[in-house]
Homo-oligomer: A and B are copies of this chain.
């Protein structure tokens, strides 16, 4: 893709040289910039922190418990705009940054003014006021479960020439090269509902009536969630989005009772649940997450050759297609 340097009086045949000098300018010693970089935690820790900040921001704006939404594409325009503000608020709180002192920049990091620029699209749009300032660039794509975080001091030369209706310019290819990436290839904590095939989602949001649960009830949907999503950690927000009720843990406890006859266990972080998850070679839930697993009871003396766990008076293993009938323990 051809890039156009910001200064239109330069002859085009100098553009390559200009690019090099733009980048060199962006890489000139900048102790404030270095201070800001130094204020961030190292690699993995930084990625984990921003992953949490972004997951939390997206989930709060989706407001799944009230709206049943799980896809950022369903956000209204005002909500998409607000998402950047929410990211800024949650990041500031999480990292303990202050607001910029002059009230113009979003953060004060290591004593320096830093502006926050978020995009869920392809590129960042930079207002004229940001030129000369350090920007924290954050991009998140919930559909690809990916995010990026970087720092750049904005120069005219790092922006494309074209302006949008608000007079903002996008970061050029040279600009992207000038970014100091804090997280180049971040993985967002998964959005379970978004990751499911449409027919799976449909089975969760519109479950048939089973047993004593009305098909339209939050409990029936929660049951369907754990019936369909097994062997994967399910977070609290996913439960709330499906249940559309504020007591997620209560819905999970009731799902545990309702799904027992189907041989499905729902493990949390309490009691012997972590031990069971570990023994069955499953991810181990933290507080506020759960994992469903369909199990069967081993016959006395049976060697299944698979991970098994003793619960009460029996040994249980993960049920697979073709196995004898699933059976969950009475209590666990």
Contact = CB atoms under 8 A, between A and B. Distances in A.
A78 B67 contact: no
A173 interface: no
Contact of A78 (B63, B81, B90, B92): B81
A129 interface: no
A328 to B, nearest CB: 34
A176 to B, nearest CB: 25
A285 interface: no
A66 B90 contact: yes
A78 B89 contact: no
A90 B246 CA distance: 13
A76 interface: yes
A281 interface: no
Nearest to A67: B89
A57 B92 CA distance: 21
A262 interface: no
A79 interface: yes
B78 A85 contact: yes
Contact of A89 (B66, B85, B89, B92): B66
Interface string A43-82: 0000000000000000000010011000000001011011
A85 B76 contact: yes
A3 interface: no
A35 interface: no
Nearest to A65: B93
A92 B65 CA distance: 12
Interface string A75-105: 0101101101100011011000000000000
20 contacts: A63-B89, A66-B89, A66-B90, A66-B92, A66-B93, A67-B89, A67-B92, A67-B93, A76-B85, A78-B78, A78-B81, A78-B82, A78-B84, A78-B85, A79-B82, A79-B85, A81-B81, A81-B82, A82-B82, A82-B85
Interface of A: 63, 66-67, 76, 78-79, 81-82, 84-85, 89-90, 92-93
Give 3 closest A-B pairs by Cβ, nearest first: A66-B93, A82-B82, A78-B81
